[in-house]
Amino acid sequence: MEGSAAVTGLNPDYLLPSSRRASPFLHSYTSSRSSFHRKHSSPFFYKFQKKLRLPSFNARQAVSPISKEEKEVPDLDWDNLGFAIVPTDYMYVMKSSHGGDFSNGELQRFGNIELSPSAGVLNYGQGLFEGLKAYRKEDGSILLFRPEENALRMRSGAERMCMPSPTVDQFVEAVKATVAANKRWVPPSGKGSLYIRPLLMGSGAVLGLAPSPEYTFLIYVSPVGNYFKEGIAPINLVIEHELHRATPGGTGGVKTIGNYAAVLKAQSAAKAKGYSDVLYLDCVHKKYLEEVSSCNIFVVKGNVISTPAIKGTILPGITRKSIIDVARSLGYEVEERFVAVDELLEADEVFCTGTAVVVSPVGSVTYLGKRTSYGDGVGVVSQQLYSVLTRLQMGLIEDKMNWTVSLS
């Protein structure tokens, strides 16, 4: 590929070379894949495939020109997007050895990937992920929301998980390149967003418990609508008092993949009973709020908004951080501290925040079989904060916080 522009350029027509440029790219690509296969060509190497609607990529796909269909708007029902994977056109891949730097990232056709059965991520859970969104403005341009914050959080998590991580600049440029290559999948203004999923995983083969010898940074995207089927309508939570999401000194404060597998049992049981999700308590005193399965929690009483403090067991959510700043700018007093379950039950209003949910009002909380409800609809505070933040994310109001990044 032609220098650094192949990594950071934002025009997918240029990133995928013409027939005159295809030969050197193909040579570089196939040489790296041949080297990889020689290194791992044993009976223990196999193709790790998720059964998606698209086939796994190969060298021919990686250099194929953009088709006429790929320049057209996808045939999707933009008014009824859920939160589920929709295979798009391209993904971004970059590799590093243990102790080394990430380099030579490239766009590839979205599809299956290959991993050794003894990859660190499969055997020991050495993996992190991030989540952020791209929005289409009314004029057709595209905005990213605080991508540098995701980069910093991934670097913090990587240090805890003994992994190398892309620099902030590498992360942000990779996100820009991936969104630009998949720009036709960004929903029309007000119809949803393009969810961006960066992954960092130990992809090298390792048998004994040790850091992986190789790491892969990968980004894929999917157009999405509301995370909860209720949309902006209030959700119903149940408090889990037996199972716990995180422990002091553990990894609850970083976005490692194992944190999310651990909540599936309680979440599945809750949804089977008709609840939207689960709210977890601390594992020591079993009375202080921690977070919902994949989002932070806020409690409103009068003009005071309280949320559990970041103390190692709670993920430092970027939407959480943004909502705190927005709330203070609107005149609310925001407290980050221990919040007891009794305060939740006596609150005027409760809401959750997260990249996927943005701001989700809570209609009821059930604790030890007793249900507490909060009004008949969306609370005033929840609605105000949701409106300000989403309008800022979509470019409908002036970004005085300097949080958005524009793609031309």
Residues of the chain with pLDDT under 70: 1-71, 229-231, 408
Q: Look at residue 97 in the predicted model and tell me its pLDDT.
A: 82
Q: Look at residue 70 in the predicted model and tell me its pLDDT.
A: 65
Q: Look at residue 78 in the predicted model and tell me its pLDDT.
A: 94
pTM for the whole thing?
0.83
Q: Look at residue 68 in the predicted model and tell me its pLDDT.
A: 59
Q: Look at residue 104 in the predicted model and tell me its pLDDT.
A: 86
CA distance 110 to 55: 8
Q: Which residues, at least 6 apart from 63, have a Cβ–Cβ distance to it below 8 Å?
A: 16, 17, 22, 25, 26, 29
Q: Which residues, at least 6 apart from 77, have a Cβ–Cβ distance to it below 8 Å?
A: none
**Spatial CA neighbour of 91 closest among 68, 61, 69:** 61
Q: Considering 95, 133, 255, 370, which one is annotated as catalytic?
A: 255
Q: Which amino acid is at 77?
A: D
Q: Look at residue 138 in the predicted model and tell me its pLDDT.
A: 94
DSSP per-residue codes, 215-238: EEEEEEEEEE--SSTTTTSPEEEE
CA distance 391 to 389: 6
**Is 255 tagged catalytic?**
yes
Give me the residue spans of the domains in the chain: 90-225, 235-398
Element of type H or E holding 405: strand 404-407
CA distance 324 to 236: 23
